Amino acid sequence: MGKVGFIGLGIMGKPMVKNLLKAGHEVVVYDIIPAGVQEVAAAGARAVSSSKAVAEQCSLIITMVPNSPHVKAAILGPNGVLEGAKAGSLVVDMSSIDPTVSKEVGAELAKKSIRFVDAPVSGGEPKAVDGTLSIMCGGKKADFDEAFPILKCMGASVVLCGEIGAGNVTKLANQIIVALNIAAMSEALVLANKAGVDPELVFEAIKGGLAGSTVLNAKAPMALARNIKPGFRINLHIKDLANALDCGHAVGVPLPLTSQVMEIMQALKVDGMGDADHSAIIRYYEQLAHTEVKKKG
C-alpha cells in the first residue's frame, strides 16, 4: 500500500488516520498539537515535525484542519506543504472551508505543478470512527480518481461534484440543510411538549413520513435524552454558516433562513454552549417557550 501524508489530528483527523492505517497504508502525520500526534503514532503512524516534512515524504498529502486560515497556513505558510511538495504531488484538503479559499490554494499549488482536490466531509466524529463519512469533492476527474481509493478508506460515499471549490459549496449546502432541520425539529418538539403531547410519541409518529430525515433520527433522541455531548459542536456549525453566508453574498444568493439559524446559534454561544452539540438548538426554543423537552417515561 502507498504512503499517505496527513496534517490535522483533531476530533476528525485522528479516527480518519486510524482507518487509513487499518487499510494497510503507511501514514506520515503532523499537527501543531502534540496530543493528537502521540495518539496516532501509538496506532502506527509516523510523526514528523512540520507540514513541509510531510510533503517531502509523501506524494499524496491530506489536510484536515478547522477553517480557511488554518488551511492556508498548513499548505501555503512557512514550513507548509508548498515548501516541501514535489511537482506532480496531490494535495487533498478535507477541511470545511470557504470555497473561494479552496480555489486560491489550488491556484497557488498549480504554480508549482502540484495538484489539488477539495474534499470536505459530513458525518461528524461517529462516521469518522466508522469510516462511513460522506465526502464531497471538487477538482479534476483524473486527480479525483487517484485520490478515490484513499478516500474510500474513510468514507462510504465519495462523489465528485465539479471543479475545485465545488466540494466546499456542496458541504455548505449540506450544513444549511442540517442546521435548518435541527431548528425545525426543535420548534416542533417544543410546540408538542408545551401543548401537552409527548414529544417522544410525536417523533415516533412522524419519523416514517415526509417529515422524517436522517437529521431527525439522529438528533431527536439526543434532544429527548437531554444529551448535548458533541458529535458536532455549535462553534463549528457557526463557522460553516459564516462561510455559507459569505459565499451566498459573494455570488448574489440571499440566505434568509440560514441567517436566522445562525443568530440562534450565536445566542447559544453567548450562553456558553458553543462546545455543545448542534442539537442544543432546542435549548434556545425551550428558553423562549419556558418549557423543557424530555422523555416522559
Q: Which residue has the cell 448574489?
A: 252
β strands within the chain, DSSP E = 3-7, 26-30, 46-47, 60-63, 90-93, 115-118, 121-122, 133-138, 155-162
Contact 59, 46 (CB under 8 A): no
pLDDT of the residue at 143: 98
Residues facing 102 on adjacent strands: none
User: What kind of fold does domain 169-289 have according to CATH?
Assistant: N-(1-d-carboxylethyl)-l-norvaline Dehydrogenase; domain 2 (1.10.1040)
pLDDT of the residue at 260: 98
Give the integer Cα–Cα distance in Å for 118 and 165: 6
Instruction: Give which of 17, 23, 22 is closest to 54, Cα–Cα.
Output: 17
Give the integer Cα–Cα distance in Å for 289 and 199: 15
Task: Mark whether 171 is an active-site residue.
Answer: yes
Helices (H) and strands (E) in the chain, counts: 14, 9
Q: Where are the chain's structural domains? A: 3-163, 169-289
Give the integer Cα–Cα distance in Å for 101 and 39: 30
pLDDT of the residue at 296: 80
Give the integer Cα–Cα distance in Å for 98 and 188: 32
Radius of gyration of the CA atoms of the chain, in A:
20
Give the integer Cα–Cα distance in Å for 102 and 138: 9
pLDDT < 70 stretches in the chain: 1, 297
pLDDT of the residue at 110: 98
In CATH, which superfamily holds the domain spanning 3-163?
NAD(P)-binding Rossmann-like Domain (3.40.50.720)
Q: Which residue has the cell 484542519?
A: 65
Please tell me which residue in 18, 103, 171, 219 is annotated as part of the active site: 171
Q: Show contacts of 259-267: CB within 8 Å, 24+ apart.
A: 260/183, 261/179, 261/180, 261/182, 261/183, 262/238, 264/183, 265/179, 265/234, 265/237, 265/238, 265/241, 266/238
pLDDT of the residue at 297: 66
pLDDT of the residue at 229: 94
List the grid coordinates of 39: 495518539
Neighbours of 268 (CB within 10 A): 22
